[in-house]
Structure 1
Amino acid sequence: MPPDVLIIADDLTGALDSSVAFAGPGRSVLVARKPDAIPALLRQSPDVLAVNTASRECGADEAAKRVAAALAFLPIADIPIIMKKVDSRLKGNIAAEMGALQAALGTRRIIAAPAIPTMGRRVTGGMLDGDGIAAPIDVASRIGVSAAIPDTESDRDMDDLVRSADSGVLWVGARGLAFALARAAGHPEPRPFRLTPPLMIVSGSRDPITMAQVERLRA
């Protein structure tokens, strides 16, 4: 059987931090670290499948090819919920990847909601703004295809958006959208738990915000 939810992410971190929204007892959530792992994971009949196309840092044409190659492994017509996971500051080759998705999915309505209200990042009047964003970003110009871009300033806005949408939507967003989709499907957010030291943290990000966090931890 095809998964109930498909997440296409342009890096592994995105695949993980969005798919974890659906994790919980009795649900199978699998992440393909590369597209050619998809067939083996589909044979395990996951409820949720996230795919890393590793396409954020390459050229736009190559990014589109990688997304198209991933989709070729997938029964996309039979998957109810499809989400294109994007960076919450809209970095990467989003327009090229959306072009590949639109070519494969045809007439699916596209709704873009890249806000993460819990991180202080929100969308108002088609502009993404908030913590860690130097200047407001025009969402439409980064998405590159025709899409609805509703105001989403809080988790309640995200929940209302997801619940009011018709079926057959191609969702575009970050982890805030993934958690809203999970809540709408009846999956509560994972409970926080305390890790016991000694502890090792491995960071693969060169983002200035992450680097500042690492320096604070060292101190």
Structure 2
Amino acid sequence: MASPPPPPAPSVSPPVPPYVIALADDLSGAAETARALGGPVRLSLAAPDVAEIAAAHDLVVDLNTRHLPPAEAANAVRTALRAARTAPPRLLYKKVDSQLRGNLAAEAAVYAEGAQAVVIAPTLPAARRTVTGGVVHVNGVPLHRTDGWRAERAAAPRSLPEALSGLPVCTVPLDVVRSEPAVLDAEFRRIAASGAHPAADAETDADLDAVAAAALRLGPGFRLLGSGGLAAALGRALVRPATAATPAPSPAQDSDPLLFVVGTAEPGAVAQIAHLTALGAHHVPLDPADLAAGTVSLPRTAVAPALTVFSIDGSAGLRPGAGRALSAALAALAAAYPGRPDLVLTGGETARTTLDALGIRELEPLGEIHHGAVHSRTPEGRRVVTRPGSYGAEDSLLRIAVALRPRLAAATAAT
């Protein structure tokens, strides 16, 4: 009997640059990606910065396209990619929502232009979001059977190929992802040669490590598109030049006010806020109709409370598609808040509109308080924590408050 043919030889590709240009569609995702990549990083809210990068660091840009019309979102990605071609060589990464929200199809189609293939993997193990059979699962439940799209105008897609309608996609089964590297490389090459793009099943960080490593072996023509989970795998796979250690940031002042702007429609936000009010936080629930009408104003106070929480009162239900107007109204209130408070911003659109209202164009990520809750500093020294609306356990906001204001730890222990 003839011996079986040997597996294909490992790929040999040109060396890849060790730094990344990552394009995100909202600010909380951009901050998550900046921390996930793990190298020296700059987080910009200005797309033209893509053309100006020269330093030895990653650049993550929030294109702020999550709620734009599809054609405008696609054009923003195209403009950023055009600028990237004039910068020193960098790996390209496209950050997408792990629940496939936003202008995924329109942005991915543009991102694929000029690429040999786009390797797609939105799995996010830390948030229990996995992909099997080309279907995104949240806590083991198919995405389209969850309420993850409750605030969207459309129904959740039933699969990655459906979500990426218009872009030819071929699912890579989990057993192939977990096979020998040469086998996975060959499958990615085969799919690319057919004119399609590989969408990899993945459940664990190890699966994502295999996907990222394969894309790097195949060269810069294979671009990566995924969540913060794949960004972290890319960061682990890259060999960075040695850099000097970054000095530890000085602690925030306990005397400075701390303002939470909770712009998420997630039901869990109610319990998260309750932990803060138990510590004496001043909670301002805002009626969505009054917010949209612009009839909310802040009472005048001589001294801002130590902890204040703005949130949208969702007791009457939220109207799908109203998020952008509500985020803008919340941002205007935050910008009018007295003094210069440190900020905790939940929900990517809320975070971006608030920073825009304050004229903040750049963040320096300092660390992660818990998964997705990224602690950053503005050039002027203000502390900002961004967190996706759907992230965080019941004590999420409390943990953030204690991290920024350590004196609260004693009060927490007493409750």
Q: TM-score range by the shorter chain?
A: 0.7 to 0.9
**Does structure 1 residue 124 correspond to structure 2 residue 124?**
no
Match of 2:42 among 19, 22, 30: 30
Distance 1:54 1:12 in 2: 7
Q: 1:80 offset after TM fit, Å? A: 4.5
Distance 1:130 1:185, change over 3 A: same
Q: 1:153 offset after TM fit, Å? A: 0.5
Cα distance per residue 1:36-72 (max 9 Å; x no partner)? 33344x14x2421111111101110111111122222
**Does structure 1 residue 17 correspond to structure 2 residue 32?**
yes
Distance 1:51 1:79 in 2: 16
Distance 2:213 2:46 in 1: 31
Q: 1:162 offset after TM fit, Å? A: 1.5
Q: 1:22 offset after TM fit, Å? A: 2.9
Q: Which one has a bigger Cα radius of gyration?
A: 2
Distance 1:31 1:129, change over 3 A: same
Q: 1:93 offset after TM fit, Å? A: 0.4
Q: TM-score, normalised by structure 1?
A: 0.80
Give yes or no for contact 1:129–1:135 (8 Å, CA) kept in 2: no
Aligned to 2:92: 82
**Does structure 1 residue 138 correspond to structure 2 residue 159?**
yes
Q: Which amino acid aligns with 1:167?
A: G
Distance 1:39 1:196, change over 3 A: closer
Aligned to 2:198: 148
Name the SS of the counterpart of 2:200 in structure 1. Answer: coil
Distance 1:202 1:143, change over 3 A: farther
Match of 2:260 among 181, 192, 202: 202
Give yes or no for contact 2:98–2:124 (8 Å, CA) kept in 1: yes
Q: Superposition RMSD on alpha carbons, in Å? A: 2.8
Distance 1:115 1:23 in 2: 18
Identity %: 28
Q: 1:167 offset after TM fit, Å? A: 1.7
Give yes or no for contact 2:38–2:235 (8 Å, CA) kept in 1: no
Q: 1:99 offset after TM fit, Å? A: 1.9
Give yes or no for contact 1:21–1:178 (8 Å, CA) kept in 2: yes
Give yes or no for contact 1:111–1:172 (8 Å, CA) kept in 2: yes
Aligned to 1:47: 57
Distance 2:63 2:207 in 1: 29
Distance 1:216 1:173, change over 3 A: farther
Aligned to 2:219: 167
Q: 1:143 offset after TM fit, Å? A: 2.5
Distance 2:265 2:98 in 1: 12
Distance 1:85 1:157 in 2: 18
Match of 1:214 among 265, 272, 283: 272
Q: 1:159 offset after TM fit, Å? A: 1.0
Higher helix residue share: 1
Give yes or no for contact 1:7–1:49 (8 Å, CA) kept in 2: yes
Distance 1:86 1:217, change over 3 A: farther
Distance 1:23 1:160, change over 3 A: closer
Name the SS of the counterpart of 2:198 in structure 1. Answer: coil
Q: Which amino acid aligns with 1:151?
A: D
Structure 2 stretches lacking a partner, 5+ long: 1-16, 147-157, 169-196, 241-250, 279-415
Aligned to 1:191: none
Give yes or no for contact 2:121–2:227 (8 Å, CA) kept in 1: yes
Give yes or no for contact 1:34–1:54 (8 Å, CA) kept in 2: no
Give yes or no for contact 2:38–2:236 (8 Å, CA) kept in 1: no
**More RCO (CA 8 Å, sep 6+):** 1
Give yes or no for contact 1:38–1:51 (8 Å, CA) kept in 2: yes
Give yes or no for contact 1:35–1:70 (8 Å, CA) kept in 2: yes
Distance 1:127 1:50, change over 3 A: same
Q: Which amino acid aligns with 2:28?
A: T
- Aligned length in residues: 204
Q: 1:76 offset after TM fit, Å? A: 7.0
Q: Which amino acid aligns with 1:100?
A: V
